[in-house]
Amino acid sequence: MHYTKRIYKNFPLHFAGYEQEPNFVLYFINFNQENIKEITLEFFGKKQTYPINSSESKITLVLDEDVNYIPKLFSVTTDKVYYLKDYPDYDTVTSPKAIYSLGPEKELYRRELKKKFNYNNVKCVYEENAKYWHCVCGHTNFSIDDKCEVCGKEKSKLAEVHPSYASQAATRHQENQILSLFLALYISLYLIDIFVQMFTGDFLFTNYDKNTLFAVTNRFIVPVLIIAVIALKMVFNNKHIKVATDILKILFFLLVLYLNILPIISFIGTAYNLTFLWSVDILIAILVIRSLVTVGQKVYNFSLLGTIIVFFFTSIFLYGVYKDLKITIHPEGVSLTVQEEGNQKKYEIPETLNNMKVFSVIFSYNKEYEMEELVISNNASIVAFTSTATFKNLKAVEVKENNKVYYANNNVLYKDEKIILVPLAITEVTLNSDVVNAKAFYNHYNLKTVTILENVKVIEKSAFANATNLENINFAPNSSLKTIEEYAFKNTGIKKIEIPISVENIEIGILDGCNKLESYKTPFIGKKRESHDQFYSSSDIFVYHFGSVIHSQSEKIPQSLKHIEVYDIDRIHNTTFYNIKSVETIVLPDELLYMGKSSFYGCESLLEFTIPNGVPDIKEECFKYCSSLKTIVIPASVINIEKNAFQNCNELTTVIYLGDKTNLTIDPIGNQKLIDLLN
């Protein structure tokens, strides 16, 4: 049906509308229910009168079939004739007002109609005029109708529900404004926190255990859930669905409570979240206080505010407790760097910190700790330090019985049969594990005597380095020691050492810096025993044991060294004892078969020497510049003495040759004094 919009004032009949089905049907409203006798219509200037004779409120007129256009109302006849042209004033029928025009009130209006009359399909607002009224379904009815022509809703009932809920709507609107402000600031804080962590690292403690479900829940799932809850609450606030908003309020409270409980349960494990949490707590507190003034809801808001305040200051307190700890979080637990153990004589590694297992403890390389006793916890699987000197007062080490990694024996800490820590108070130690591990006694300046028993096979790199007061190294007679690694006894105070015959490898510099060494007995010179005469592939230069592969760097050999004995080799190569100026006696094994050139060159303190029986030649410059050499014993095996073998041996006074001189060939160049003494 097509409706007309004009209702002419004081005119007895209103042309309401028309439709074609297939004839034109015209509808008229007789507001005053007068007796309408005739209606005159105008068709393009032609007038046609239709008898009516009806006083009904609704009059219907069906036109002839040949009429296919809309006529105009010309006049109406009651007791007299009314011409429409004489009534220019009219009221316009307005369109129904959509329910969305109510704004925040629309849902309250819908809810009230549903609650009272179970009315659904509410699209518009009920409005009433003198001549017509708008139903909530959107249909315009005339005042003569008590029910909507389309949906049947009763006019009287609709009139009972007034679409004005300003107070409730205003409250919801203000709450949504606060929520939208919170949401914007919250998302900003969340994004800022993520970017700050990306570029500056975790707050307070470095955490490498943030990819677990627990951590992902704390960092992403819960913050995003809060965003979702606030957004949904705003939606349901607009719809004024109280049950849903109440559930979401409780859920928001629980999520905020969860975030605030985290530092209490695991402050260390969730410290990366603290700055975000504190920012959110302050934001919520400010907005809750504002809500108390504008929105109300005192019980809920005071509960939320109180919870935030309690947990906020609790986390601040915990921050004060833990902030000075140097901690790193790993999937295995906590790695703790010990800063200060206080004035306590006994320091016990904690089993846990804030409910997290302490699996690693690091003692700083640049600190000296005052503790006298160290207790290793059951959970500690890593105890790290750079030097024994870190514990300058340490006297005792204890390991809890359930620790599966470390154990202590006579106050020495072991791991996998290797020495980890020897307290500085210990001055004597006996070792019998397979390996004396690298730096086991590094910087142990109180150690004086070490006994190495038969089971020890390897002394690793720098095992006793910088043990400056170490004087005595004793090896078991049946020692099974195979290897001494580089710088094993560097910078110690050893005066005398005898390397066992079982040793097969000696790395460079084992006695580097041993400036008190007086006597050295070793089964071979250099890295290992050698059975060839090739000088350039040989490492048997004496200075090798003192830290150099260059034979001329004799300054590495301490001036205190007076006696050398080598007892399990059959040859020495060129320059083996080159320029060792302080040594007075050198003893070589009787089994020696070969001595290379310049073997004792420059041994200016050497007083006497017996050449082993088996050496056939005394090579060129072998004893050159042995300026203090007084006595030389030459076995019968020697049949040839090369040039300059005894050049500048100015103190030589006794030469004993044990063979037949007629079999001895001597090059006179540089050896004249030797020849003279033999004759």
Q: Profile the chain (679 residues) by mean pLDDT over runs of 10 residues.
A: 86 89 85 91 87 92 78 91 91 88 74 82 88 90 89 88 61 76 90 86 87 88 93 82 86 92 88 89 86 69 88 91 89 88 80 92 85 93 82 89 91 86 88 89 90 95 94 96 97 97 95 96 90 57 91 91 95 91 96 93 96 96 96 96 96 95 94 92
Where would I find the beta strands (DSSP E) of 127-184?
127-128, 132-134, 140-142
CA–CA separation, 174 and 618 (whole Å): 110
59 and 112 inside one domain: no
CA–CA separation, 289 and 455 (whole Å): 76
Q: Which two tokens stand for residue 169?
A: 């709507």
CA–CA separation, 678 and 638 (whole Å): 14
Asked if the bond preceding 263 is cis, omega within 30° of 0, the reply is no
DSSP 8-class letter at 605: T
DSSP 8-class letter at 544: G
CA–CA separation, 139 and 151 (whole Å): 8
179 and 307 inside one domain: yes
pLDDT of res. 677: 94
Say if residues 657 and 677 touch (Cβ distance below 8 Å).
no
pLDDT of res. 535: 47
191 and 300 inside one domain: yes
- Which residues have C-beta within 8 Å of that of residue 57, sequence separation ≥ 6? 29, 30, 31, 33, 144
269 and 356 inside one domain: no
In 3D, which of 259, 258, 255 has the Cα closest to residue 233? Answer: 255
- Which residues have C-beta within 8 Å of that of residue 167, sequence separation ≥ 6? none
CA–CA separation, 454 and 110 (whole Å): 97
**H helix or E strand, kind and range, residue 452:** strand 449-452
In 3D, which of 569, 610, 577, 620 has the Cα closest to residue 593? Answer: 569
Residue at 173: amino acid letter: H
- Which residues have C-beta within 8 Å of that of residue 250, sequence separation ≥ 6? none
CA–CA separation, 406 and 229 (whole Å): 51
- Quick check: is 250 in a domain? yes
CA–CA separation, 335 and 315 (whole Å): 22
Q: Which two tokens stand for residue 128?
A: 């009433």
Label the pairing between strands 571-572 and 585-587: unpaired
174 and 318 inside one domain: yes
179 and 314 inside one domain: yes
Q: Which two tokens stand for residue 642?
A: 């090369």
204 and 116 inside one domain: no
Distance of CA 223 to the CA centre of its chain: 19
Sheet holding 412-415, edge to edge: 406-409, 412-415, 418-421
Residue at 616: amino acid letter: P
Which residue, of 365, 389, 418, is where some domain finishes? 418
85 and 115 inside one domain: no
pLDDT of res. 457: 96
- Quick check: is 185 in a domain? yes
**H helix or E strand, kind and range, residue 359:** strand 356-363
Which residue do the tokens 């004249």 mark? 672
In this structure, how many other beta carbons lie within 10 angstroms of the beta carbon of residue 268? Answer: 23
130 and 202 inside one domain: no
pLDDT of res. 359: 95
- Quick check: is 479 in a domain? no
- Which residues have C-beta within 8 Å of that of residue 435, sequence separation ≥ 6? 417, 418, 456, 457, 458, 459, 460
624 and 585 inside one domain: yes
Sign of CA dihedral 629, 630, 632, 633: negative
pLDDT of res. 169: 58
Label the pairing between strands 631-634 and 608-610: parallel
- Quick check: is 529 in a domain? no
What's the number of domains the chain is made of? 5
CA–CA separation, 179 and 67 (whole Å): 63
- Quick check: is 58 in a domain? yes
- Which residues have C-beta within 8 Å of that of residue 394, sequence separation ≥ 6? 369, 371, 372, 373, 374, 421, 423, 424, 425
- Quick check: is 482 in a domain? no
Q: Which two tokens stand for residue 215?
A: 């951590």
Residue at 418: amino acid letter: K
CA–CA separation, 627 and 630 (whole Å): 9
241 and 148 inside one domain: no
CA–CA separation, 625 and 640 (whole Å): 20
In this structure, how many other beta carbons lie within 10 angstroms of the beta carbon of residue 456? Answer: 21
- Quick check: is 539 in a domain? no
The enclosing domain of 620 has a CATH number of 3.80.10
Which residue, of 363, 398, 418, is where some domain finishes? 418
- Which residues have C-beta within 8 Å of that of residue 77, sequence separation ≥ 6? 36, 37, 38, 39, 40
- Quick check: is 574 in a domain? yes
- Residue-range definition of the domain harbouring residue 593: 562-679
309 and 385 inside one domain: no
CA–CA separation, 112 and 105 (whole Å): 11
Which residue, of 288, 322, 356, is where some domain finishes? 322
pLDDT of res. 104: 65
Label the pairing between strands 640-641 and 617-618: parallel
Residue at 594: amino acid letter: Y
